[in-house]
Protein backbone atom coordinates (compact mmCIF):
# COMPACT_ATOMS: atom_id res chain seq x y z
CA UNK A 1 0.00 0.00 0.00
CA UNK A 2 1.38 3.36 -1.02
CA UNK A 3 1.61 6.39 1.24
CA UNK A 4 -1.30 8.01 -0.60
CA UNK A 5 -3.50 4.94 -0.12
CA UNK A 6 -2.56 4.78 3.56
CA UNK A 7 -3.48 8.44 4.01
CA UNK A 8 -6.77 7.87 2.19
CA UNK A 9 -7.76 5.05 4.54
CA UNK A 10 -7.21 7.38 7.48
CA UNK A 11 -9.53 10.01 6.06
CA UNK A 12 -13.05 9.83 7.47
CA UNK A 13 -14.46 11.37 4.31
CA UNK A 14 -12.98 8.56 2.19
CA UNK A 15 -14.30 5.93 4.58
CA UNK A 16 -17.72 7.59 4.60
CA UNK A 17 -17.81 7.74 0.80
CA UNK A 18 -16.88 4.05 0.53
CA UNK A 19 -19.54 3.17 3.12
CA UNK A 20 -22.20 5.01 1.10
CA UNK A 21 -21.03 3.28 -2.09
CA UNK A 22 -21.48 -0.09 -0.40
CA UNK A 23 -25.05 0.81 0.57
CA UNK A 24 -26.06 2.19 -2.83
CA UNK A 25 -23.56 1.82 -5.70
CA UNK A 26 -22.40 4.99 -7.39
CA UNK A 27 -24.74 6.12 -10.12
CA UNK A 28 -27.88 4.60 -8.59
CA UNK A 29 -28.82 7.45 -6.24
CA UNK A 30 -30.13 9.75 -8.97
CA UNK A 31 -30.04 7.74 -12.21
CA UNK A 32 -30.82 9.50 -15.48
CA UNK A 33 -32.10 6.32 -17.16
CA UNK A 34 -34.77 3.89 -16.01
CA UNK A 35 -36.39 0.76 -17.48
CA UNK A 36 -39.48 1.39 -19.59
CA UNK A 37 -41.74 -0.37 -17.09
CA UNK A 38 -41.01 2.36 -14.52
CA UNK A 39 -43.37 4.52 -16.58
CA UNK A 40 -46.33 3.18 -14.63
CA UNK A 41 -49.12 4.75 -12.58
CA UNK A 42 -48.12 2.54 -9.66
CA UNK A 43 -44.87 4.46 -9.29
CA UNK A 44 -46.61 7.77 -9.97
CA UNK A 45 -48.76 7.19 -6.90
CA UNK A 46 -45.64 6.28 -4.92
CA UNK A 47 -44.02 9.59 -5.79
CA UNK A 48 -47.32 11.38 -5.11
CA UNK A 49 -47.41 9.92 -1.61
CA UNK A 50 -43.91 11.31 -1.00
CA UNK A 51 -44.99 14.75 -2.24
CA UNK A 52 -48.06 14.65 0.01
CA UNK A 53 -45.85 13.66 2.94
CA UNK A 54 -43.72 16.77 2.40
CA UNK A 55 -46.85 18.92 2.58
CA UNK A 56 -47.90 17.10 5.76
CA UNK A 57 -44.55 17.81 7.39
CA UNK A 58 -44.38 21.45 6.27
CA UNK A 59 -47.90 22.31 7.40
CA UNK A 60 -47.41 20.35 10.63
CA UNK A 61 -44.30 22.36 11.48
CA UNK A 62 -46.28 25.59 11.08
CA UNK A 63 -49.05 24.27 13.32
CA UNK A 64 -46.53 23.29 15.99
CA UNK A 65 -44.87 26.70 15.91
CA UNK A 66 -48.12 28.70 16.13
CA UNK A 67 -50.04 26.48 18.54
CA UNK A 68 -53.65 25.35 18.98
CA UNK A 69 -55.14 28.82 19.55
CA UNK A 70 -53.81 29.94 16.16
CA UNK A 71 -55.34 27.12 14.12
CA UNK A 72 -58.69 27.49 15.96
CA UNK A 73 -59.13 31.29 15.80
CA UNK A 74 -57.02 32.62 12.92
CA UNK A 75 -58.08 32.48 9.27
CA UNK A 76 -54.49 31.71 8.30
CA UNK A 77 -54.45 28.99 10.95
CA UNK A 78 -57.65 27.52 9.53
CA UNK A 79 -56.06 27.44 6.09
CA UNK A 80 -52.85 25.74 7.26
CA UNK A 81 -54.87 23.28 9.34
CA UNK A 82 -56.96 22.45 6.26
CA UNK A 83 -53.81 22.00 4.17
CA UNK A 84 -52.50 19.63 6.83
CA UNK A 85 -55.74 17.64 6.85
CA UNK A 86 -56.13 17.31 3.10
CA UNK A 87 -52.48 16.53 2.51
CA UNK A 88 -52.90 13.67 4.99
CA UNK A 89 -55.97 12.50 3.07
CA UNK A 90 -54.04 12.66 -0.20
CA UNK A 91 -51.09 10.87 1.40
CA UNK A 92 -53.25 7.94 2.50
CA UNK A 93 -55.15 7.73 -0.80
CA UNK A 94 -52.00 7.60 -2.93
CA UNK A 95 -50.16 5.34 -0.51
CA UNK A 96 -53.00 2.78 -0.47
CA UNK A 97 -53.07 2.67 -4.29
CA UNK A 98 -49.28 2.33 -4.41
CA UNK A 99 -49.30 -0.38 -1.74
CA UNK A 100 -52.00 -2.47 -3.41
CA UNK A 101 -50.37 -2.04 -6.80
CA UNK A 102 -47.07 -3.34 -5.48
CA UNK A 103 -48.87 -6.19 -3.71
CA UNK A 104 -50.39 -7.46 -6.95
CA UNK A 105 -46.99 -7.05 -8.63
CA UNK A 106 -45.41 -9.22 -5.89
CA UNK A 107 -42.91 -6.46 -5.22
CA UNK A 108 -40.95 -8.62 -2.76
CA UNK A 109 -39.47 -10.66 -5.62
CA UNK A 110 -35.75 -10.51 -6.34
CA UNK A 111 -34.44 -10.00 -2.81
CA UNK A 112 -36.78 -7.03 -2.29
CA UNK A 113 -38.52 -8.39 0.81
CA UNK A 114 -37.16 -5.67 3.08
CA UNK A 115 -38.25 -3.02 0.58
CA UNK A 116 -41.82 -4.32 0.76
CA UNK A 117 -41.73 -4.70 4.56
CA UNK A 118 -40.51 -1.14 5.16
CA UNK A 119 -43.26 0.24 2.94
CA UNK A 120 -45.98 -1.81 4.64
CA UNK A 121 -44.74 -0.96 8.15
CA UNK A 122 -44.55 2.73 7.20
CA UNK A 123 -48.20 2.55 6.15
CA UNK A 124 -49.17 0.96 9.48
CA UNK A 125 -47.19 3.58 11.37
CA UNK A 126 -48.92 6.31 9.38
CA UNK A 127 -52.28 5.05 10.62
CA UNK A 128 -51.10 5.41 14.23
CA UNK A 129 -49.76 8.88 13.46
CA UNK A 130 -53.07 9.96 11.93
CA UNK A 131 -54.94 8.57 14.96
CA UNK A 132 -52.86 10.61 17.39
CA UNK A 133 -53.43 13.61 15.12
CA UNK A 134 -57.20 13.27 15.56
CA UNK A 135 -56.61 13.13 19.32
CA UNK A 136 -54.56 16.35 19.20
CA UNK A 137 -57.19 18.59 17.65
CA UNK A 138 -58.08 20.04 21.10
CA UNK A 139 -61.80 20.14 20.37
CA UNK A 140 -64.90 18.10 21.22
CA UNK A 141 -64.23 15.78 18.28
CA UNK A 142 -60.87 14.71 19.75
CA UNK A 143 -62.46 14.25 23.19
CA UNK A 144 -65.14 11.97 21.76
CA UNK A 145 -62.58 9.91 19.80
CA UNK A 146 -60.35 9.47 22.86
CA UNK A 147 -63.29 8.46 25.05
CA UNK A 148 -64.36 5.83 22.52
CA UNK A 149 -60.83 4.51 22.00
CA UNK A 150 -59.75 4.15 25.63
CA UNK A 151 -61.80 1.02 26.33
CA UNK A 152 -60.44 -0.84 23.31
CA UNK A 153 -56.85 0.08 24.11
CA UNK A 154 -57.29 -0.85 27.78
CA UNK A 155 -58.76 -4.19 26.71
CA UNK A 156 -55.56 -5.13 24.87
CA UNK A 157 -53.36 -3.97 27.76
CA UNK A 158 -51.64 -0.91 26.28
CA UNK A 159 -53.78 1.81 27.82
CA UNK A 160 -51.26 2.40 30.61
CA UNK A 161 -48.52 3.18 28.07
CA UNK A 162 -50.65 4.77 25.36
CA UNK A 163 -53.16 6.87 27.28
CA UNK A 164 -55.51 8.46 24.78
CA UNK A 165 -57.07 10.56 27.54
CA UNK A 166 -53.76 12.36 28.03
CA UNK A 167 -53.69 15.04 25.31
CA UNK A 168 -50.10 16.09 26.04
CA UNK A 169 -48.85 12.52 25.62
CA UNK A 170 -50.80 12.08 22.38
CA UNK A 171 -49.43 15.37 21.05
CA UNK A 172 -45.84 14.26 21.73
CA UNK A 173 -46.51 10.94 20.03
CA UNK A 174 -47.93 12.82 17.06
CA UNK A 175 -45.26 15.47 16.55
CA UNK A 176 -42.09 13.72 17.80
CA UNK A 177 -41.97 9.94 18.13
CA UNK A 178 -44.19 8.67 15.33
CA UNK A 179 -42.97 11.17 12.67
CA UNK A 180 -39.41 10.14 13.52
CA UNK A 181 -40.27 6.48 13.01
CA UNK A 182 -42.08 7.20 9.74
CA UNK A 183 -39.19 9.33 8.50
CA UNK A 184 -36.64 6.58 9.20
CA UNK A 185 -38.82 3.95 7.50
CA UNK A 186 -39.40 6.13 4.43
CA UNK A 187 -35.70 6.88 4.08
CA UNK A 188 -34.83 3.20 4.44
CA UNK A 189 -37.49 2.33 1.88
CA UNK A 190 -36.07 4.81 -0.64
CA UNK A 191 -32.51 3.58 -0.06
CA UNK A 192 -33.60 -0.02 -0.68
CA UNK A 193 -35.45 1.01 -3.85
CA UNK A 194 -32.33 2.73 -5.15
CA UNK A 195 -30.15 -0.22 -4.13
CA UNK A 196 -32.23 -3.04 -5.63
CA UNK A 197 -34.20 -1.11 -8.25
CA UNK A 198 -37.91 -1.42 -8.95
CA UNK A 199 -39.40 -4.86 -9.41
CA UNK A 200 -39.80 -5.86 -13.09
CA UNK A 201 -43.16 -7.10 -14.41
CA UNK A 202 -43.92 -10.80 -14.50
CA UNK A 203 -42.23 -12.41 -17.49
CA UNK A 204 -39.80 -9.58 -18.06
CA UNK A 205 -36.44 -10.59 -19.55
CA UNK A 206 -33.48 -9.43 -17.41
CA UNK A 207 -30.90 -7.11 -19.00
CA UNK A 208 -28.46 -9.01 -21.19
CA UNK A 209 -30.63 -12.14 -21.32
CA UNK A 210 -32.14 -13.63 -24.48
CA UNK A 211 -35.87 -14.14 -24.68
CA UNK A 212 -36.97 -17.78 -25.13
CA UNK A 213 -36.99 -18.68 -28.81
CA UNK A 214 -35.28 -15.47 -29.90
CA UNK A 215 -32.29 -15.87 -32.27
CA UNK A 216 -28.82 -15.13 -30.98
CA UNK A 217 -27.38 -11.77 -31.94
CA UNK A 218 -24.41 -11.65 -34.26
CA UNK A 219 -21.18 -12.49 -32.51
CA UNK A 220 -22.92 -13.78 -29.40
CA UNK A 221 -22.91 -17.22 -27.93
CA UNK A 222 -23.27 -19.04 -24.65
CA UNK A 223 -20.19 -17.34 -23.29
CA UNK A 224 -20.97 -13.87 -24.57
CA UNK A 225 -24.63 -13.27 -23.74
CA UNK A 226 -25.03 -10.23 -21.55
CA UNK A 227 -21.29 -9.51 -21.68
CA UNK A 228 -21.87 -5.88 -22.52
CA UNK A 229 -22.94 -3.51 -25.27
CA UNK A 230 -20.29 -4.87 -27.65
CA UNK A 231 -21.44 -8.47 -27.26
CA UNK A 232 -24.74 -8.01 -29.06
CA UNK A 233 -26.75 -8.14 -25.84
CA UNK A 234 -28.24 -5.41 -23.71
CA UNK A 235 -25.90 -2.83 -22.27
CA UNK A 236 -26.10 -0.95 -19.02
CA UNK A 237 -28.36 1.71 -20.54
CA UNK A 238 -31.04 -0.70 -21.75
CA UNK A 239 -33.57 -2.93 -20.07
CA UNK A 240 -35.72 -5.75 -21.41
CA UNK A 241 -39.31 -5.67 -20.28
CA UNK A 242 -42.61 -7.26 -21.25
CA UNK A 243 -43.70 -10.81 -21.75
CA UNK A 244 -41.31 -12.80 -23.88
CA UNK A 245 -39.67 -10.93 -26.69
CA UNK A 246 -40.72 -7.30 -26.21
CA UNK A 247 -37.69 -5.06 -26.10
CA UNK A 248 -38.51 -1.99 -24.01
CA UNK A 249 -37.14 1.40 -24.78
CA UNK A 250 -35.20 3.14 -22.08
CA UNK A 251 -36.72 6.42 -21.04
CA UNK A 252 -35.12 9.47 -19.60
Q: pLDDT digit string (tens) for 228-241?
A: 434 333 433 333 33
Q: Which residues pair with 251 in a beta bridge?
A: 34
pLDDT band at 38 (very low <50, low <70, confident <90, very high): confident
DSSP string, 101-136: HHHHTTTTTTT-HHHHHHHHHHHHHHHHHHHHHHHT
For 3-62, give the secondary structure using H, E and C: HHHHHHHHCHHHHHHHHHHHHCCCCCCCCCCECHHHCCHHHHHHHHHHHHHHHHHHHHHH
Q: What SS3 state is found at 238? A: coil
pTM: 0.72
Per-residue pLDDT averaged across 54-66, rounded?
95
**Segment 184-202, tens digit of pLDDT:** 999 999 999 888 888 888 8
pLDDT greater at residue 35 or residue 146 = 146
Q: How far apart are CA 10 and CA 103, in angstroms?
A: 45
pLDDT of residue 25: 74
Question: How buried is 30 (Cβ within 10 angstroms: 0-12 exposed, 13-18 middle, 19+ buried)?
Answer: exposed
Query: Which residues, in sequence order, are bridge partners of residue 34?
Result: 251
Residue 136's CB is within 10 A of a number of other CB atoms, namely 20
Question: What mean pLDDT comes out for the span 139-152?
Answer: 90
Amino acid sequence: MTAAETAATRSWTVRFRRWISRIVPEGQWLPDRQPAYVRSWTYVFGVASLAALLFVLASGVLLVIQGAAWWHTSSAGHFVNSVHLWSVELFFATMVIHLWGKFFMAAWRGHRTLTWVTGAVAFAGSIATAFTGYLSQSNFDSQWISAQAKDGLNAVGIGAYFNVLNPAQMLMWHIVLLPLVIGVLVMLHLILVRRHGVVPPFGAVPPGARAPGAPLAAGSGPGTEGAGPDAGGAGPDTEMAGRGTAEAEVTR
